[in-house]
Amino acid sequence: MVSPPASLSTDEKVIEGGAVVAVLLPLPLDQPYSYLLPEDLSAMPGTFVEVPLGKRRLPGVIWKRQDQADIARDRLKSVLRVHDVPPMPDVQRRFITWVAGYTLAPLGGVLRMALSVPAALDPPRPHQVLVRSDQPVSDDLRLTPARQRVIELAEQGFAHPPGVMAREAGVSSSVVKGLQEAGLLQAVSQRPRRSFAVPEGARPGPTLSAGQASVAEALCGKVREDAFSVTLLDGVTGSGKTEVYFEAVASALQQGRQVLVLQPEIALSSQWIERFERRFGVQPAEWHSDLTPAQRRTTWRAVAEGEASVLVGARSSLFLPFRDLGLIVVDEEHDPAYKQEDGVIYQARDMAVVRGQLGQFPVILASATPSLESVLNVQAGKYQLEELPARHGGASLPEVSVLDLRKDRPERLPSGGQSWLAPSLRKAITETLEQGEQALLFLNRRGYAPLTLCRTCGHRIECPDCTAWLVEHRKWGQLQCHHCGYRAPLPRACPSCDETDSLVACGPGVERLDEEVRLLFPEARHLLLSSDTLPGPAAAQDLMRQIQQREVDLIVGTQIVAKGHHFPWLTLVGVVDADLGLGGGDLRAGERTYQLLQQVAGRAGRAERPGRVLLQSYIPEHPVLQALQSGDRDAFLAHEAETRERGFLPPFSRMAALVISAPDAEQADAASRAMARAAPQAEGLEVLGPAPAPLAVLRGRHRRRFLVKARRDLPLQRLLAEWRDRVSLHGSVRLAIDVDPYSFL
């Protein structure tokens, strides 16, 4: 009998060989399949196994023992092998089931997120290293200086793979090989070393202010309680939220638990990682899309084995198989990047709370601009509140003013071209630069211009596959679709009327703004920061460092500059189009704009020098802009809550979006009519639609949308699932269900 992996040794739930087991596969299936566990294997619920499916061999997880198999025993296929990795903990299986039930995604589709690195299921192969053998150096061996160096190295106890041995000794690999053949060096296999060092939870952090210390103590108390709780850590940018939640991380580490810190955009959080390293002496494990396959494999396994004690990651890290998770911190909890919009559609912040509840441990949500949902949960007594009202070290908050573009009109540029900067903003930039300080111009729009129009016939250049204008990227000489990635060279003549030199760029993107400030402020050192002009996270990090070290004066950037960075010399932030984002059918448009602009504003004056923020707007009376100017966040949130309550909008109701898509418009319409006929009816339930989605065509597929609003006490998921199951849709038609939608396109 094959002995079970050590991690399975003695457990009451052991499933002996010969039993029938239900194995969940990482495929879009709702149910596990039955397999026979061969006599010579034993397992337990959660064991990772390999099973046959048709001609394939797939990884899967034993979901449970199957007492009544749906097929005759002799027709069952057998489990091929049991992987040598700790089984998926019960709590994670319950989490996967919960997420599938809530999002209406197939159970196996959710498992796929947890099984994203099948290669990690097998232990890494031990690698071969060379050590000094017992054989004495015989007289017939000519001991050249090169050989001698290698032998000395080996005799000092160094064990290296051959290549490294040669490099360390400064000799060629044939020298090492010769010694091995002569029997003086011997190959032995060595288990790979730990990949993640243990963070030093007991290392002291900075001396906290009295306010910070009391918040830190409250958070550490939650960790010691070892029970489920959610705490909203609400503090202005620079108030020390990170410093304070590090204390909670330290507490969890001292209790030997694992910690997950979720970040919205992990690739840009190198500053965070450096800070973590300063505080805890080692780097945390990371999880995001930029990892190499080898890194993914080591990290997944280290999380499963409990070796990685702190992991910082993007939303998908929630599905890693933590062996003993004891704390989750959701940093920037309001950030829309926590919503996953394709595949399994879920909100990672909300699912983190669910994970904490299932695992009975505390969850900390940190933000300077908390989401309305979280604020209302505090008011309802479901979440606790800890506040850090002041910037650390007494740095003042920037002064915010709104510039009315109707009065403070941008003048023409000396070249006669259009300008996007109001005279008072230009003046403020001049003053800032004269004082040797930095200015940031923020515009959340990539590229040169959002629209290219023909002056002769009025034609607007659109994406061939989407209901969207193409955005000019002058840097690449291209027009691009920001929805599907379509790219084409910028044409010389209008594609509609063939007139040459008639196409004009309308509206500004960051490239165009950058062009303007280079013209107006030629002596300044310029920097343009936009995700599409950065080759990767390393480049982003380098540019952030240039700003910090004052190697540039005038920065033009999209929202990638908004996040968490600390720029001591930045004292002026100009928001070029504060109205951008306030329109459209997004129920959170106001809230999001407030959060984003507040966050950008927070870049100004973080050190000794006070900052100021100028917001350019055509609608200065808008409540969002008024709230930013007065700094009265609570009044804004109260107003926002009232508006949503009146409109029966989330979180006062529950919402789901159903998007039907098909290769042609007729199919999409037919399918949406069929769906409409089968729509659920219930007291407290509203079904709006079908209507063409605002992005009526996306990647060539025609889209129709239903919006469902339901009273919070209705069983929304059941109603939706029954609705879906009542209609059988044509094979080419797709239905995407988005529970708690954040995107309304």
589 binds ligand ADP (CB under 6 A): no
Among 302, 304, 466, 575, binds Zn ion (CB under 5 A): 466
679 binds Zn ion (CB under 5 A): no
DSSP letters for 452-471: EEETTT--B-B-SSSSSBPE
The listed partner (ligand ADP, Zn ion, none) that binds 466, CB under 5 to 8 Å by sort, is Zn ion
515 binds Zn ion (CB under 5 A): no
The listed partner (ligand ADP, Zn ion, none) that binds 241, CB under 5 to 8 Å by sort, is ligand ADP
Q: Least CB distance from residue 672 to ligand ADP, whole Å?
A: 46
Q: Least CB distance from residue 233 to ligand ADP, whole Å?
A: 9
The listed partner (ligand ADP, Zn ion, none) that binds 240, CB under 5 to 8 Å by sort, is ligand ADP
Q: Least CB distance from residue 700 to Zn ion, whole Å?
A: 8
Q: Least CB distance from residue 452 to Zn ion, whole Å?
A: 14
Q: Least CB distance from residue 237 to ligand ADP, whole Å?
A: 5
Type and span of the H or E element at 89: none
Q: Which residues contact 135 (CB under 8 A, 6 or more apart)?
A: 183, 184
228 binds Zn ion (CB under 5 A): no
User: Rg of the chain over CA atoms, in angstroms?
Assistant: 30
Residues 379-408 that bind ligand ADP (CB under 6 A): 392
Q: How far apart are CA 562 and CA 498, in angstroms?
A: 42
Residues 185-224 that bind ligand ADP (CB under 6 A): 206-209, 212
DSSP letters for 666-705: HHHHHHHHHHHHT----TTEEEEEEEEEEEEEETTEEEEE
Token output for 675: 């769906």
Residues 305-324 that bind ligand ADP (CB under 6 A): none
Q: How far apart are CA 264 and CA 125, in angstroms?
A: 34
481 binds Zn ion (CB under 5 A): yes
Q: Rounded to the nearest 5 degrees, what angle is found at the Cα of 410, between the Cα atoms of 404 and 412?
A: 165
Among 53, 484, 670, 736, binds Zn ion (CB under 5 A): 484
488 binds Zn ion (CB under 5 A): no
The listed partner (Zn ion, ligand ADP, none) that binds 212, CB under 5 to 8 Å by sort, is ligand ADP
113 binds Zn ion (CB under 5 A): no
91 binds Zn ion (CB under 5 A): no
Stretch that binds ligand ADP, among 94-102, 195-203, 238-246, 488-496 (CB under 6 A): 238-246
Q: Are 104 and 724 within 8 A, CB to CB?
A: yes
The listed partner (Zn ion, ligand ADP, none) that binds 208, CB under 5 to 8 Å by sort, is ligand ADP
483 binds Zn ion (CB under 5 A): yes
241 binds ligand ADP (CB under 6 A): yes
Collapse the DSSP code of 249 into the 3-class scheme (helix H, G, I; strand E, B; otherwise coil) and give the result: helix
Query: Which amino acid, 10?
Result: T
Residue nearer to ligand ADP on the CB measure, 419 or 438: 438
Q: How far apart are CA 523 and CA 519, in angstroms?
A: 9
465 binds Zn ion (CB under 5 A): yes
335 binds ligand ADP (CB under 6 A): no
486 binds Zn ion (CB under 5 A): yes
Report how many helices (DSSP H) and strands (DSSP E) the chain contains, helices first: 19, 31
Query: Which amino acid, 568?
Result: P
Q: Are 212 and 388 within 8 A, CB to CB?
A: yes
463 binds Zn ion (CB under 5 A): yes
Q: How far apart are CA 112 and CA 106, in angstroms?
A: 10
178 binds ligand ADP (CB under 6 A): no
DSSP letters for 500-555: BT-EEEES--HHHHHHHHHHH-TTSPEEEE-GGG--SHHHHHHHHHHHHTT--SEE
Q: Least CB distance from residue 628 to ligand ADP, whole Å?
A: 18
Question: Exposed/middle/buried for 121, CB within 10 Å: 0-12, 13-18, 19+?
Answer: buried
- Interface positions with ligand ADP (CB under 6 A): 206-209, 212, 235, 237-243, 392, 566
